Structures are given as structure tokens and as C-alpha cells.
């Protein structure tokens, strides 16, 4: 099993959400349908723009906590390194 730390956004340079999950496709679906956190539903955060994969939940949670303490600029830099156009990566899930 793999675990994921991900960043979702409502638009390029918009509101960001960092989360952790063991099923990235399911979690992304929940964001798109407004399930889960009030924050993501309130700000329309539906686009998966970045993710990392980890072999254990403990590593994923540690990374999530680390990233949540980053400055916004660091988060945006990390997104741009993987996904310079801020495309919704959810289209590549389940392929």
C-alpha cells in the first residue's frame, strides 16, 4: 500500500490545502464533490496540483506536518517544480 501527501488548489496561485491519504483517487473525488473538510468546500478546492508517495503512513504524516509549516512561497515553488501550469492532475489517476 502507498500513502500520499498532496496539495489541492482552487486555481493557480489560489487557496491551498495539504492532506494525506492512502487512496488519492477517492480523496480527490471527495474534494470534487464537496465531501470532507469544510475549508475545501468553502473555498472550492477541487484541483489536485501536487503529490508525493510514501511507503508508510508515518512517513506521509510526518511530511504532511512538515509541509503545513512551510511558507506559502515554498509550497508554490514545490507545485511549480512538478506542475508548472497548475493542471489538475486528477485526470492521471486510475490509469
Give pLDDT tens digits for 35-94. Answer: 767 888 889 999 999 999 999 999 999 999 999 999 999 999 999 999 999 999 998 876
Residue 29 pLDDT > 70, yes or no?
A: yes
**Nearest 5°: phi and psi at 52?**
-130, 150
pLDDT at 9 exceeding the cut of 70: yes
Residue 26 near residue 94 (C-beta atoms within 8 A): no
Q: Which helix (H) or strand (E) is 64 found in, with range?
A: helix 57-68
Give the CATH number of the domain where residue 49 resides: 3.40.1440.10
Q: How far apart are CA 88 and CA 68, in angstroms?
A: 21
- 11 located within any domain: yes
What is the number of domains present in the chain?
Answer: 1
Q: Is residue 95 part of a domain?
A: no
Does some domain include residue 19? Answer: yes
Give the single-character DSSP code of 12. T
Per the domain annotation, does 86 fall within a domain?
Answer: yes
The domain of 72 spans 3-90
Please report whether residue 27 resides in a domain: yes
Angle at 30 between CA 69 and CA 17, to 5 degrees: 15
Note whether residue 22 is domain-resident: yes
Amino acid at each position: 500500500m502507498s500513502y500520499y501527501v498532496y496539495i489541492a488548489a482552487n486555481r493557480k496561485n489560489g487557496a491551498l490545502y495539504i492532506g494525506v491519504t492512502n487512496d488519492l483517487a477517492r480523496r480527490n473525488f471527495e474534494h470534487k464533490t464537496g465531501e470532507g473538510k469544510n475549508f475545501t468546500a468553502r473555498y472550492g478546492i477541487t484541483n489536485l496540483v501536487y503529490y508525493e508517495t510514501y511507503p508508510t503512513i508515518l512517513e506521509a504524516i510526518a511530511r504532511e506536518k512538515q509541509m503545513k509549516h512551510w511558507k506559502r512561497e515554498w509550497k508554490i515553488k514545490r507545485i511549480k517544480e512538478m506542475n508548472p501550469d497548475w493542471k489538475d492532475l486528477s485526470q492521471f489517476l486510475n490509469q
